[in-house]
Structure 1
């Protein structure tokens, strides 16, 4: 490859990266702008838009609902997904591949189609829409990520250490708590943080499943419908920071496995 072609590829990659990151950077920049008109040049910097956001009572209600949903999803998806990953890791290659494909179908479906399917299922079952339906719906697309992450870790797991513990008289529970869990604990924590970030970031499925009230993504939607001011950018910046932070910690803990 010539130097000119290499520079051309680097330029194209840089422009593509700028195209993807520029809108996110603008959200962060305008959240600190002193003007209520989101245009350049910015007259000054301020945190008044964050104060205005924190003064809204609906923000704290949405934050509470989001915390309930994301924490519940993280815990349930990690527990159930880890158990499924343990079973899959013990299967033969072909059944394991088929099981992984079946578990991963919700992850590959468009969110709108998945939301409509879940809404129909809850309507047929007579389940009233609430935070519980949001949690159950989020589990359908977060568990596949947990399964893939944990299964990737278990694929390289040395099961001889478990056999040694059992030979020394340890019970299955003691073996799990003293041998298995300490080894895969960073992976489980990373999978939990990843599922939490995915749950926090979802809007489409939450919008269909939420019977009343708001989560942070639906609050953003509601604020956009009534007007556009930099306090929306402040809320978007907070969501972005939490999502990127949890995802980065999750990738670091899992050592980019899965």
Structure 2
């Protein structure tokens, strides 16, 4: 339908109702979590019992606020540490993959590109179990045959990083490849004609063009790693990331301190999104 043409009243009302319901479904649960982070009750759900900052600042009595909850803060740091490594690995390897798939021709290229997409369609639980089974078999074989203790192949943070990296690198590769595909290679040819070396052209011409997509891929990788639960649960050891710790506390009986950490994460995610939007015009 041409946008300038008048639309029937029922169609306009139906479209507006759909948009309204979509945003209600999207934002009302987040609003409820944010509001009840300040509820003066020992449970994170209605009814409202009054305003309090205990779930952020309390340190004594029956309440421990977010700022004094050692295990929760430690798990937050663990998630950030894992996400940082996953981001660095995903963007680095994803950039190399993008150049390999976009700039080179070799036998089996199509098959390799197809196989690299498989982690996106494999459920996270299956991916985690498969990685755990393979890593455990390799570690046990090395221990039995040569007496090597490959602890990084046992459940723990290195295996969590590896498991998340296996599928997040695919998303980084797709993001950077899409940008590299649009790149005008005559700019590189001009630099070569002016006497620039291959490394100089890569550093001063190609990578600056790819920087926005690399930053976007890094942001996606960090957020996807930080919020991952299914794969992480299968591979975690004695240092649980935030999502695993929150899950275990929900099973034991949640308190509004989980609402408080959820509000903190919502604000941090919104700040990151605003920062990326603010930097986008400069990147272009």
Aligned to 1:64: 77
1:190 and 1:253 in contact (8 A); partners too: no
Q: Give the Cα–Cα distance (whole angstroms) in 2 for the partners of residues 148 and 254 of structure 1.
A: 19
Check 1:246–1:108 CA distance in 2 against 1; reply closer, same or farther (3 A cut). farther
Q: How does 1:33-48 map to 2 (within 5 A)?
A: 33-40=39-46, 42-48=48-54
**TM-score, normalisation: structure 1:** 0.88
Greater mean alpha carbon deviation, residues 202-211 or residues 245-254: 245-254
Residue ranges of structure 2 left out of the alignment (5+ in a row) = 1-6, 58-64, 140-152
Deviation at 1:215, TM superposition (A): 0.8
Check 1:8–1:216 CA distance in 2 against 1; reply closer, same or farther (3 A cut). same
Aligned to 1:106: 119
Deviation at 1:245, TM superposition (A): 4.2
Greater mean alpha carbon deviation, residues 95-104 or residues 121-130: 95-104
Confirm whether residue 157 of structure 1 aligns to residue 218 of structure 2: no
Aligned to 1:86: 99
Confirm whether residue 223 of structure 1 aligns to residue 249 of structure 2: yes
Aligned to 1:46, the other structure's residue is in SS state: coil
Confirm whether residue 15 of structure 1 aligns to residue 21 of structure 2: yes
> Once superposed, what is the RMSD of the aligned Cα atoms?
2.4
Deviations 1:200-227, CA, capped at 9 Å, x for gaps = 0101111111111211111111221222
Residue ranges of structure 1 left out of the alignment (5+ in a row) = none
Confirm whether residue 146 of structure 1 aligns to residue 153 of structure 2: no
- In terms of Rg, which structure is larger? 2
Q: Give the Cα–Cα distance (whole angstroms) in 1 for the partners of residues 269 and 251 of structure 2.
A: 24
Aligned to 1:115, the other structure's residue is in SS state: helix
Aligned to 1:181: 207
How many residue pairs align between the two structures? 254
Deviation at 1:244, TM superposition (A): 4.6
Aligned to 1:136: 162
Deviation at 1:246, TM superposition (A): 3.8
Aligned to 2:142: none
**TM-score, normalisation: structure 2:** 0.81
Deviation at 1:9, TM superposition (A): 2.7
Check 1:242–1:138 CA distance in 2 against 1; reply closer, same or farther (3 A cut). farther
Aligned to 2:137: 124
Confirm whether residue 32 of structure 1 aligns to residue 38 of structure 2: yes
Aligned to 2:197: 171
Q: Give the Cα–Cα distance (whole angstroms) in 2 for the partners of residues 237 and 53 of structure 1.
A: 11
Q: Give the Cα–Cα distance (whole angstroms) in 2 for the partners of residues 96 and 22 of structure 1.
A: 46
Indicate which of 110, 115, 134 corresponds to 2:128.
115
Aligned to 2:215, the other structure's residue is in SS state: helix
Greater mean alpha carbon deviation, residues 137-146 or residues 53-62: 53-62
Q: Give the Cα–Cα distance (whole angstroms) in 2 for the partners of residues 223 and 41 of structure 1.
A: 21
